[in-house]
Amino acid sequence: MRGFLASSVGVTCAAALALPLTLPATPAKAGPSTLTSEAVAPGSTQSLPLVPLSRKRSLGPAAPTQGLARRNVRPFSLVGVVWDDPGSELNGRVQVRTRAAGTGDWSDWQDVEAHNDEHAADPDTAESASSRVHGSTAPLWVGNSDGVEVRVEAERAARDAGEAPEPEDDAGDGPENRRAAATLPGGLRLELVDPGGDPPSRDARTAGRAGGAPSGLRAKSVHPGGHAGVTGGGGGAKATVIPALSREETARTYFSDGTAQRRATPYIGPRPRIITRHGWGANENLRERGFLYTKTVKAAFVHHTASGNKYNCSQVPSIIRGVYRYHVVSSGWRDIGYNFLVDKCGNIYEGRAGGVAKAVMGAHTRGFNTNSMGIAVIGTFGATKPTDAALKAISRLTAWKLGLYGANPRGKTYLKSAGGNLYRKGKNVRLNVISGHRDGFATECPGRLLYGKLGSARTTAARYQGR
């Protein structure tokens, strides 16, 4: 994501120490338990401290390297690395190998995106200041696994500030070698997330109070079959799916009629089908109680999860449960960071709790979480093209949600920076109404190939709005 700020070193990382294959003694994390839920999908997190690896197993002079040798562990499907201080960066390369449960086959080494702090709460907020918050990599989906090996090697930097690094010398640490090893942050731990099993399926026609109308707009029941407009918060207690509406039904549902202003159809796209938190099996005991709201939704930031592309769409509820648990239990956030998630089949999922139609404050674009929403496409798109279905879902979702707040998907808007690595705190920044993450933070997210498609997404979203 932030490769041009902290690129991975191009040397081979250290091989792991030959340690016995044993089950870890570290207990599984349960996370905060502040809510109750009638249908909690089980899951767990194993947290394994990393240890220094032998220098003999590290190529290059004295690059700090930590990791774990191959070992048996309890089943998991998603991995990441965390550390104590969220203000410290992991400048280096993180790689894992995993063993598929059932077959015993070990994967090749896979890179884990080292930087996740750009997906985070804004500076100087209660969420970012919480003592529970840790530094963390992006999560990586690896599928059902029961063995793991990991290595983390610090990036090497020039010894003198501003000095271009010279080629490494085979002699090692002598004065002719002017490259100095960076340090790794303290308290590195490998997080192995078991997302738990899928919840029992429910008929989508049970969807009732699902979402939440924006302030000042009156929702009404219009959908055939008894579906109500959105009036509550948090996605509805029992609804697994918020059904799609036509453009006309959407306008009647969210806007009061009877006024000269609203007799004409507003610029709003048809509401797309949205799978609720209950639908993907969110354990509401994990997140913090209550919701955070901002005044409006002026912009949408598009992201990728950087969790890899090796999934099928039937696995997506498990992936989201894994990301959710990783964000809350491992990284220490109050809830999953994104407001919505989209898979490669074009399915749309409710993310952070509080109501899909409301201006819920997320933790997706550090510095610009106020008056915006974050949409994460599940996958990694630096070298892989997003599917047409995913792009259509982005367009439909933004046409609807931005339309609720009067925003033109092809337009520009101003957001005030809360502080980041591109814009100072308090600066009013002019942005596209549909922006990529990299427009607000110096990062490679949402990946070059997804970012290049945002122009067409803006045009399509505007067309859905009737513009």
Per the model's pLDDT, the better-predicted residue between 230 and 455 turns out to be: 455
Token reading at 102: 């059932």
Write down the domain spans for the chain: 44-194, 274-464
Residue 430 has pLDDT above 60, yes or no: yes
Spatial distance between the Cα atoms of 402 and 415, rounded to a whole number of angstroms: 15
| 3 state DSSP class of 431 | strand
Q: DSSP letter string over 70-115?
A: EEEEEEEEEEEEEES-TTS---EEEEEEEEETTT-PBPPPEEE---
What does the pLDDT read at residue 128? Answer: 87
Q: Which of 138-142, 200-204, 393-397, 398-402 has the lowest mean pLDDT?
A: 200-204
Residues 362-381 pLDDT 10s: 999 989 999 999 999 999 99
Burial profile 311-327: b = 16 or more Cβ within 10 angstroms, e = fewer = beeebbbbbbbbbbbbb
What does the pLDDT read at residue 122? Answer: 80
What does the pLDDT read at residue 153? Answer: 94
What does the pLDDT read at residue 121? Answer: 82
Q: Which of 57-66, 119-128, 327-336 has the lowest mean pLDDT?
A: 57-66
Per the model's pLDDT, the better-predicted residue between 28 and 288 turns out to be: 288
- Residue where the block lists tokens 């390297």: 65
Q: Which of 59-63, 139-143, 185-189 has the lowest mean pLDDT?
A: 59-63
pLDDT mean across residues, the chain: 80
Specify the CATH number of the domain 274-464.
3.40.80.10
Q: Select, from the ranges 52-56, 164-168, 346-350, the one with the highest average predicted confidence (pLDDT).
A: 346-350
- Assign 123 a pLDDT band (cuts: 50, 70, 90): confident
Residue 454 has pLDDT above 70, yes or no: yes
Cα dihedral: 348, 353, 359, 364 (round 10): -70
Spatial distance between the Cα atoms of 345 and 325, rounded to a whole number of angstroms: 23
Residue 158 has pLDDT above 50, yes or no: no
Residue 86 has pLDDT above 80, yes or no: yes
Spatial distance between the Cα atoms of 181 and 51, rounded to a whole number of angstroms: 17
Please list, in sequence order, all residues whose beta carbon lies within 8 angstroms of the beta carbon of residue 433, skipping any fewer than 6 positions away: 298, 299, 300, 402, 407, 408, 409, 410, 411, 412, 413, 458
**Residue 170 exposed, middle or buried by CB count within 10 Å (0-12, 13-18, 19+):** exposed
- DSSP H or E stretch at residue 323: helix 316-325
Per the model's pLDDT, the better-predicted residue between 312 and 207 turns out to be: 312
Residues 5-58 pLDDT 10s: 333 333 333 333 233 333 333 445 654 433 334 444 579 999 999 999 876 544
| 3 state DSSP class of 149 | strand
The dihedral through the CA atoms of 375, 380, 381, 382 has a sign that is positive
Spatial distance between the Cα atoms of 214 and 295, rounded to a whole number of angstroms: 9
- Assign 223 a pLDDT band (cuts: 50, 70, 90): very low
What does the pLDDT read at residue 55? Answer: 60
Q: What mean pLDDT comes out for the span 257-280?
A: 77
What does the pLDDT read at residue 62? Answer: 58
Task: Please name the fold of domain 44-194.
Answer: Jelly Rolls (2.60.120)
pTM of the model: 0.82
Per the model's pLDDT, the better-predicted residue between 420 and 419 turns out to be: 419
What does the pLDDT read at residue 212? Answer: 53
Give the percent of the chain with pLDDT over 70: 73
Per the model's pLDDT, the better-predicted residue between 384 and 9 turns out to be: 384
What does the pLDDT read at residue 208? Answer: 34
What does the pLDDT read at residue 386? Answer: 97
